[in-house]
Amino acid sequence: MKKGKKLYEGKAKIIFASNDKKYVIQHFKDDATAFNNQKKAVMDGKGILNNRISEHILTQLNNVGIKNHLVKRLNMREQLVQHVEIIPIEFIVRNIATGSLTKRLGIEDGTVLDSPLIEYCLKDDDLGDPLVSTEHILAFKWMEIDELNLINKELNRINDFLQGMFRGVGIKLVDFKVEFGRYEKNGKKEIMLADEISPDTCRLWDVNSDKKLDKDRFRKGLGNLIEAYQEVARRLDILHEQSNIRPLKYTKPQAVKIKKKQ
């Protein structure tokens, strides 16, 4: 697959054309930004880790029937993905209250929600990605009702799967943001999960210590962002190579020995 011209550059990724217009190349940068681009830094290796982690998660989702844009990882920083038109809404799913939800509504940080809470934000940096309602989405024709219903169902499936996957490696999935895109199939508009799922787009807390293993380490100036992302990759069994960075304390669940009946 040949890399063509740059089509779009975002805060953490660049999209390049390929020699087949059905596909584009998604390149993961090392740039970290927060608070609508007001805080910026370059984190060596972040793009490589997000490329691997997102590849792993989207592959797993595909295996359980949640279709998405990933075709294959091409190299350390790039993936071949299906070309979609990104819907201008950020879909947020929350299991535990934190971040903008607690600030906006005064909910106590760490409150476990009875059921997943879905929020929609308009993808518009100039406006600071404002929260919007279903009514706004329909009134301004950002989506059709059928598309929204389908996405809401997918969000719950994605959340169920990701919660289980992370819980299995000692991580709480606190919340996450995903994006969807439209593409044409047999003359009909279809929708699929796009963009990335990584510690840049999820809040991930260690089950025992609540230690943050995600981009909040950068947002809150906690340091050790790369070590935290490596820890996520290691627990998901993606990173096998030994690193000289001391892993955060995590004990693998031990097999339970069953006593034989006498």
Q: Which residues bind ligand 5GP (CB under 6 A)?
A: 90, 92, 99-101, 129, 175-177, 200-203, 215
Pick the closer one to ligand 5GP by CB: 84 or 202.
Answer: 202
Pick the closer one to ligand 5GP by CB: 46 or 177.
Answer: 177
Question: Sign (positive/negative) of CA torsion 104, 109, 114, 120?
Answer: positive
Pick the closer one to ligand 5GP by CB: 18 or 95.
Answer: 95
Is the separation of the CB atoms in 118 and 180 below 8 Å? no
Q: What three-state secondary structure class fits 223?
A: coil
Residue 13 CB, shortest distance to ligand 5GP, in Å, is 10
Query: What letter represents residue 205's amino acid?
Result: W
Pick the closer one to ligand 5GP by CB: 18 or 32.
Answer: 32
Pick the closer one to ligand 5GP by CB: 70 or 101.
Answer: 101
Residue 146 CB, shortest distance to ligand 5GP, in Å, is 25
Residue 90 CB, shortest distance to ligand 5GP, in Å, is 5
Residue 259 CB, shortest distance to ligand 5GP, in Å, is 44
Question: Sign (positive/negative) of CA torsion 118, 124, 126, 127?
Answer: negative
Query: What letter represents residue 123's amino acid?
Result: K
Residue 137 CB, shortest distance to ligand 5GP, in Å, is 17
Which run of H or of E encompasses 18?
strand 13-18
Q: Which residue is nearest to ligand 5GP (CB)?
A: 99
Alpha helices in the chain (DSSP H): 46-63, 100-105, 134-139, 145-167, 216-219, 225-235
CA-atom Rg of the chain in angstroms = 19
Length of the chain: 262
Pick the closer one to ligand 5GP by CB: 18 or 199.
Answer: 199
Pick the closer one to ligand 5GP by CB: 92 or 143.
Answer: 92
Residue 181 CB, shortest distance to ligand 5GP, in Å, is 16
Residue 190 in tokens: 């279809």
Burial zone of 131 (CB within 10 Å; 0-12 exposed, 13-18 middle, 19+ buried): middle
Half-sphere exposure at residue 250, Cβ-oriented, CA atoms within 13 angstroms: 22
Is the separation of the CB atoms in 199 and 20 below 8 Å? no
Residue 252 CB, shortest distance to ligand 5GP, in Å, is 26
